[in-house]
Structure 1
């Protein structure tokens, strides 16, 4: 008997494991005391339950939300993963209201969210691959282009795409990247740096009146691949006009047509598309390509804004190529995070 007391007694006179375990039990009792035998637990929280069902419907039927008024559908799709934040908020309200109805209703949006995004919570990266690519919107107002160039080169990428290049900054990037990349080409405000030879370099018309997209063929060891670099127009959220993205959508359609006409089977798209894979306005591009982050990444891979990433608008998409891994790179002097991916080309299979 004395040995048992010695084994469980603590300095404060309580029981160690028993005391810690009792904390959880007391918390559970505190939350649910009074629920048993209370018929009102089914009648309370009807509003919270209704909000839970509405949240589930918005996520499940997001493609049916019209874009006619302020591109509301595209706006919702851009931040669709963040709708999950409302689930713990509603859970707290359900507990405060002591509503069994609301708790059961919350299962619906939880299942919908997990069905849409649960796969992104696992690490799908694998070993191997023969080509590493990276893309970065460097920001025209970047205060440290040289440091940004060094940071991207340090990733070890074989091919690097840069967007939002200014005429004055191009020589800085060229000089900083020259030791790591023997080949490069700049078209308008986008550029491509490569450790392997480039050919067929040309601008791609995305209906802007100036060049913000290009195409080149990279002679990689695993086979030749067409690499597109694009910076689609920015979108704006305005009180009077909503989510204004008409020019972005028009450019996305033009880019999708160019990629559809690409004669090479292996295609990579690198760039700032100013839209997520969920955004229906990018269907002309996303319908024919795979996201490396969705196929082989870990987590959501949010890239913008760099200070508190909330959306992945910087994309690496492939066609005829197997993604092996995908990740974001550390913050630079830009308002975007760089993103990278490791690919396996078909010729190396």
Structure 2
């Protein structure tokens, strides 16, 4: 496997990060940009480890490891179904909150009719929420419809989850596929964050721009520290990413290494998978994991979420168990619990 480089901040960026984190603590509505040193332990067995100077800002909040991963319905570099390798990558990276894309649930023979969201949550002992993109009728010999979409896995309680269907523009030729953004509220040791996972269209810039505008309208409704992750199918210089940066920060760019590539796995030539943050969140490190468990390589980052100065929102909601589902169309937020899928 190719060695990947751990992204570390420059001295100037690190100094600026501390100042902006202080500003974020005093004025939570003001964005703080990332750049504090990585954790003492390496983020993954695939990543190189480089030293970094200490920083004072990282102790001001709660540390969390976040990942985004397009898993291509669990098929590896040989196009063989290998969901265990996906779980191994997440586990090895010690990721605590993961945004997944291209997740199947009872979809078809290509994923052996496995409920991949539930399987991964159980295998990794994590809570989960699933956001539907598309549904197909049950195949012969199977009772459940085939589902495909995005998901969120979390070591921390998922308090609420809501799936937002994005407008699908109509085209006569090469019609685009339905997409969504899954919105969750996660309680990280008392600090509540809004966490979003999405997968934008892969065919047309016009469609991606429309989807990003809708996503920003949705994310603007949250006053919490926010993290948006996903496969945007757009490179850093694109209008789509530029639009996203009107509300969010691209942590890889903030850390001074925006050229880390994520796709395709065998000979990556573009960066289309992102971890974006808003509010009092500092990025300490970020890296791309070299793996052949999908056609995308996952991105993982060490973040620090500022401790809330006062009580946030409502008291935590009780979560019954470690697995859950989300409606396939917009509706009031629902607690994530051990419930059957209802469509």
**Range class of TM-score, shorter chain:** 0.5 to 0.7
How far has the Cα of 1:348 moved from its partner? Answer: 7.2
The 2-side partners of 1:270 and 1:299 are apart by 16
CA offsets 1:178-220 (integer angstroms, 9 cap, x no match): 2433311111100001000002200123213845320001100
Moved over 4 A (4+): 122-125
Instruction: Show the counterpart of 2:89.
Output: 151
- 1:172 deviation in Å? 3.8
Q: 1:172 to 1:257 in 2, by over 3 A?
A: closer
Alignment of 1:254 with 2:214, yes or no, is: yes
Which SS does the other structure have where 2:72 is aligned?
Answer: coil
| Distance of aligned partners of 1:173 and 1:185 in 2 relative to their CA distance in 1, 3 Å threshold | closer
Task: Name 2:197's counterpart in structure 1.
Answer: 229
Question: Structure 2 length normalisation: TM-score?
Answer: 0.59
Matches within 5 A, 1:123-202: 126-127=37-38, 128=58, 130-140=63-73, 142=75, 143=80, 144-168=82-106, 169=111, 171-188=115-132, 189-202=149-162
Q: In structure 2, how many angstroms separate the alpha carbons of the residues matched to 1:153 and 1:297?
A: 27
1:335 to 254, 278, 295: 295
Cα distance between partner residues in 1 of 2:158 and 2:228: 15
Give the gaps of 5 or more residues in structure 2.
1-9, 15-34, 39-57, 133-148, 169-176, 310-343
The corresponding residue for 1:55 is none
Q: What is the TM-score with the length of structure 1 in the denominator? A: 0.58
- Whether contact under 8 Å (1:297, 1:326) holds in the other structure is no
Cα separation, partners in 2 of 1:234 and 1:141, compared to 1, 3 Å: farther
- Residues 136-187 of structure 1: per-residue CA shift (max 9 Å, x gap): 0111371222221222222101101110112234524532442433311111
1:288 to 237, 242, 247: 247
Q: By how many angstroms is 1:297 displaced?
A: 6.0
Find the counterpart in structure 2 of residue 219 from structure 1.
Answer: 187
Select the residue among 300, 318, 323 that pairs with 2:259.
300
Q: Judging changes above 3 Å, is the alpha-carbon distance between structure 1 residues 292 and 280 closer, same or farther for their aligned structure 2 residues?
A: same
The separation in 1 between residues aligned to 2:85 and 2:256, in whole angstroms, is: 26
CA distance in 1, matches of 2:190, 2:207: 36
Q: 1:286-330 CA deviation, whole Å, 9 max, x = no partner? A: 211111111236562210111111111100000011111111112
Are residues 1:277 and 2:241 paired?
no
User: Is the partner of 2:160 in helix, strand or coil?
Assistant: strand
CA distance in 2, matches of 1:222, 1:324: 20
Using CA pairs below 8 Å that are at least 6 residues apart, which structure has the higher relative contact order?
A: 2
Query: In the TM superposition, what whole-angstrom CA distance separates every residue of 1:55-95 from its partner, at most 9, and x where no partner exists?
Result: xxxxxxxxxxxxxxxxxxxxxxxxxxxxxxxxxxxxxxxxx
Cα RMSD (Å): 2.6
Distance 1:303 1:126, change over 3 A: same
SS at match of 2:243: helix
Distance 1:324 1:136 in 2: 19
Distance in 2 (CA, whole Å) between partners of 1:341 and 1:221 is: 18
Counterparts of 1:229 and 1:281, CA distance in 2: 16
Maintained 8 Å contact 1:232/1:251: yes
Kept in 1: contact 2:121–2:127 (CA 8 A):
no
Check the 8 A contact 1:185/1:191 in 2, yes or no.
yes
Identify, as 1 or 2, the structure richer in strand.
Answer: 2
Residue 272 of structure 2 is matched in structure 1 by 313
Q: Is the 8 A contact 2:74 2:83 kept in 1?
A: no
Q: Which has the larger radius of gyration?
A: 1
